[in-house]
Amino acid sequence: MEHHFTWNYLIAIYLFTAGISSGAGIVAAVGYVVNGMDERLKRVAAYFAPFPVLLGLLCLILDLHRPWNFYKVLIHYNITSVMSWGAFFLLVFPMVAFIFAAMVYWNIDNVWRRIFAWLELIFGIAIGVYAGLLLAAIYNNPVWSNPLIAFLFFISALSTGICSLMLIGKVWDKIEDFVRKFLPSNWQPERILLTFDHKLLKRILIVDAVFIVVELMVISTLLISYALRPTGQVALGAIITGGYYLLFWIGVVLFGLTIPLILGIMEVGDKIKGGMAGIVPWAEPIMVLIGGFILRYVIVYGGQIVYPILTYYP
């Protein structure tokens, strides 16, 4: 039997960008619910959170086979369908995130900002978990029908969200100058100036290292839970020994998790000196982001090259 790829790389991009938005949104919301987070970090997170998921929504609509009908998913709901829940979350999250970003920008400090911080936290978690639950809810698929997929995608969403904030924060002033060029000369808002310094970057690297360790543990647990099932050979064959094994071991585990973890720990301990100093705040988040995308790619495609047990007669 040949493989029909019903879902392609556009779905992987969508799962990836939804994860980044979820992670950034959770950081922003936690920053305003709990006191003590750095002002620059939570502001960058609040401004950045609504945008990646919009790219993901565009990919999602481009992937539909009847794209002119896409609005039907927003008016017809099916309570038993995970995708229907996801459509609701994806409708609400960008609105909440935009309103919250506007409140942060204009320094509106009242009870409404607190309410929207909680809403952003709830819908951020919902989107992060939903991305994996969408795949985990499909049963009789050896790779996807595993609840740990949802947890893995959620941890990866937090990690990639934080890493994208690290990148954005490092070059925030340049982004701001770039955006101001496109605004009319009579409407130039005052400069915000939020570029992260090295001390803040190191603190973010520590948090990200914790998430990477948790992610490695979840991946190993996932592989064991595959192996314990009757269809385990098929699932492991698609991901770690055949099919997409190179992308998984080199792209995700080595390039996306292990090397960034080592780099991050070395940077925090000031072990990188000479010409290579200052490269980690660039290399670490870029590697984690690429690894996060490859993880989604491997899971989305790996779940479609496997054939489940179709026939079984008692």
Of residues 81, 220, 221, 241, which one binds another protein by CB under 8 A? 81
For residue 134, what are the CA distances in angstroms to 73, 154, 297, 300?
15, 12, 14, 11
- Give the C-alpha separation, 224 to 311, whole Å: 25
Determine, following the binding rule CB under 8 A, whether residue 312 of this chain makes contact with another protein.
yes
Inter-axis angle of helices 148-170 and 111-136, nearest 10: 130
Q: Quick one: which of 110, 186, 188, 311 contacts another protein (CB under 8 A)?
A: 311
Contact between 62 and another protein per CB under 8 A: no
Q: Does 69 bind another protein (CB under 8 A)?
A: yes
Q: How far apart are CA 274 and CA 52, in angstroms?
A: 35
Where is 261: in which H helix or E strand? helix 259-268
Among 33, 64, 206, 246, binds another protein (CB under 8 A): 64
**Contact with another protein (CB under 8 A) among 17, 141, 156, 164:** 141
Q: Return the number of the residue (106 or 312) whose C-beta is nearest another protein.
A: 312
> Of 32, 240, 244, 224, which Cα lies nearest the Cα of 120?
32
Residue 237: closest CA among 137, 132, 142, 145: 142
CB 19 within 8 A of CB 53: no
Is residue 230 part of the contact set for another protein (CB under 8 A)? Answer: no
What would the two tokens of residue 209 be?
């290292």
Give the one residue of 37, 54, 55, 84 binding another protein; rule: CB under 8 A. Answer: 84
* 286 binding another protein? (CB under 8 A): no
- 118 and 33 in contact (C-beta within 8 Å)? yes
Tell whether residue 73 is a contact of another protein (CB under 8 A).
yes
Instruction: Specify the stretch interacting with another protein by CB under 8 A; choose among 45-53, 77-85, 107-115, 156-164.
Output: 77-85
Q: Which stretch binds another protein (CB under 8 A): 4-12, 25-33, 146-154, 201-209?
A: 4-12
Which CB, 116 or 226, lies closer to another protein?
226
Q: What is the Cα–Cα distance from 121 to 26, expressed in whole angstroms?
A: 5
Positions in the binding site for another protein (CB under 8 A): 1, 4, 6-7, 63-67, 69-70, 72-73, 76-78, 80-84, 86-87, 137-141, 144, 303-304, 307-314
